[in-house]
Structure 1
């Protein structure tokens, strides 16, 4: 059993985060206590650190523990839990809906109508309840997935991001086989989107960005057209690449305001645009072009519809390359430096990992 206290990173004043000692969470009847082995930083974590998440509000400072991308080992289970055992290796997904509103009952638990209301059952790890930037974290049993033995903890943490990509393809409501796909933004989400598009049978995959090193990775991951939008007209190039029609599907993964208009003009008539990135401010886009050309705009917020479970399956089959995305490791005590490295893209940082515990590998995996 864990000790009574644990090392954890908590929010301070805007722009600061530091470690302290907190009580180990108490395990409820439907909870699983996870000893965190690895956690990673995400663009949302930067917004949470700056107190600009959720429209400027976000979680409270002082004792709030961020972190929604993490994996570890089961340390204890609640009395009602028989799905996991102590020692199991698991990865978490961030969102647990209330499972009582009409959206949750329809499977849209990331759009829970009781978002933020813990008393009604809603949880968002690291966003509305304590997350994984700590030695231990409580998860509802429904938010954990058993890791195959072949998937290490670095790869497991990246699967939360893969879940967001899988969810983005889910909302299209159609097969990807044979479709042309354009991805804007070669960050972790965009680079994984290239891989997933290939695994789902896309015919043509284009990647648009501004950083040469990221675009080169995109080529390795299966993009057959990479475009530096600072040096060339990406819209014209994608349309040319698709016989002058435009892409069937465009995923906007950058969160850059001008990219929305770019995505709309990159799509073919009756094409589909999915907005995956989070935007820092309101966006201007030529919606009349979308209306006149029957272009659908859809959005996703993180993982959903069981997408992390399917990401785990893909990884277990050896069909994802996540190693190339993990560029930095820091101990939890150096979380401030880890955040700065990620925010400033030092050393071309892509996925920055926190090594939180170093106990021996767990014995359970399938």
Structure 2
């Protein structure tokens, strides 16, 4: 096996607002496992919510986030060590640039056995469950034997490689929307995920693509990426603007990626009867609404979007063909030891995607 250092730097989560940069043991590859030298790890909106103590991560006797754990689930890297049988199973070799799904599936539950691994019943996500799914905010990271590993082609830049995970999630959300040529689509939220979705929705050539965000800088980027109309809900009545655009009916498709409760209630009002509402966001607080809007009033098709099943190869191909770009989305780079400065920047509205680079 390749000689790896005995210890490495890593960002270890111990609890809400208790993340520490520490020296920890370097992971080693077991049978059919792979260790990568991390190239970059993005700070996700879910990382910010976990850090702040959102109930969905910490509440209850058996919280979903099981600390202490090395954080980070948006990553790529270079193969540094191959366990027994790993090279043959994954068709990779030392030195390859690779990534894998953010979920480490059990491979045994009903969902895994029927190919729906992204809904794995055990559901270990890298960066959230100790021991079984340590994350990528570290110098090295281990992939489990049940992971599908994706080689990153030479035509994909390192910046694009660092955006593969969020872009893969974006592809799944857009797939769930089943966008048609005549659709008026509203994309709510122009953060990292929203900006990726805007590019992908544009490739679907809907009749109109409307983007909503309270950050005018991000709206300008949305326009560059293919939005037909950009609306800041703090500056104008977004619901009325969309209804005016659609003869009073409302949009055909509404994709929610704001992470804010108002993004949900606004969308339910904005989407037309028999429309499609795609829920993508992770929320830091409960969202309440009149559920009769979904059923009796509008008979909506309400669809969730979770993770990125089978979409990594799509993203790599789109980057390779220059149909998807990371330009302007990655705004900041920090060293691992500067994690807290990186976290502060990730909360800054001037930033979009902040990367940690070991």
**TM-score (norm. length: structure 2):** 0.91
Name the CA distance, whole Å, in 1 between partners of 2:14 and 2:230. 40
- Tell me if the contact between 1:25 and 1:136 (Cα under 8 Å) persists in the aligned partners: yes
The equivalent residue for 1:65 is 70
From 26, 29, 52, give the equivalent of 1:27: 29
Q: Cα offset for 1:59?
A: 3.2
Identify if the C-alpha distance between structure 1 residues 269 and 60 changes in structure 2 by more than 3 Å, giving closer, same or farther.
Answer: closer
From 144, 162, 168, give the equivalent of 1:140: 144
**In the alignment, does 2:57 pair up with 1:54?**
yes
Alignment of 1:76-87 (within 5 A): 76-81=81-86, 82=88, 83-87=91-95
- What is the count of residue pairs matched by the alignment? 344
Task: String of CA shifts for 1:105-125, please: whole Å, max 9, x gaps.
Answer: 34332322222xxxxxxx311
Alignment of 1:207-356 (within 5 A): 207-291=211-295, 292-303=297-308, 305-345=309-349, 348-356=350-358
**In the alignment, does 2:105 pair up with 1:103?**
no
Name the CA distance, whole Å, in 1 between partners of 2:187 and 2:249. 16
SS of the residue 1:47 aligns to: helix
SS of the residue 1:19 aligns to: strand
Q: Cα offset for 1:96?
A: 2.8
- Tell me if the contact between 2:49 and 2:284 (Cα under 8 Å) persists in the aligned partners: no
Q: Cα offset for 1:31?
A: 1.1
- Measured on the aligned residues, the alpha-carbon RMSD in Å equals 1.8
Name the CA distance, whole Å, in 2 between partners of 1:146 and 1:11. 29
**TM-score (norm. length: structure 1):** 0.89
Gaps of 5+ in 2: none
Task: String of CA shifts for 1:294-331, please: whole Å, max 9, x gaps.
Answer: 2111112232x212221111111111121210111111
The equivalent residue for 2:189 is 185
**In the alignment, does 2:47 pair up with 1:45?**
yes
Gaps of 5+ in 1: 116-122, 357-366
Q: Cα offset for 1:34?
A: 0.7
- Tell me if the contact between 2:67 and 2:128 (Cα under 8 Å) persists in the aligned partners: no
The equivalent residue for 2:208 is 204
- Tell me if the contact between 1:51 and 1:58 (Cα under 8 Å) persists in the aligned partners: no
Task: String of CA shifts for 1:9-67, please: whole Å, max 9, x gaps.
Answer: 112452132211111112121211110011110011123323435353343444x2000
SS of the residue 1:272 aligns to: strand
**In the alignment, does 2:160 pair up with 1:155?**
yes
Name the CA distance, whole Å, in 1 between partners of 2:243 and 2:340. 43
Name the CA distance, whole Å, in 2 between partners of 1:13 and 1:290. 37
- Tell me if the contact between 2:345 and 2:351 (Cα under 8 Å) persists in the aligned partners: yes
- The range that moved more, 17-26 or 323-332, is 17-26
- Tell me if the contact between 1:239 and 1:247 (Cα under 8 Å) persists in the aligned partners: yes
Q: Cα offset for 1:190?
A: 1.2
- The range that moved more, 292-301 or 267-276, is 292-301
Identify if the C-alpha distance between structure 1 residues 101 and 176 changes in structure 2 by more than 3 Å, giving closer, same or farther.
Answer: farther
Name the CA distance, whole Å, in 1 between partners of 2:232 and 2:24. 46
The equivalent residue for 2:169 is 164
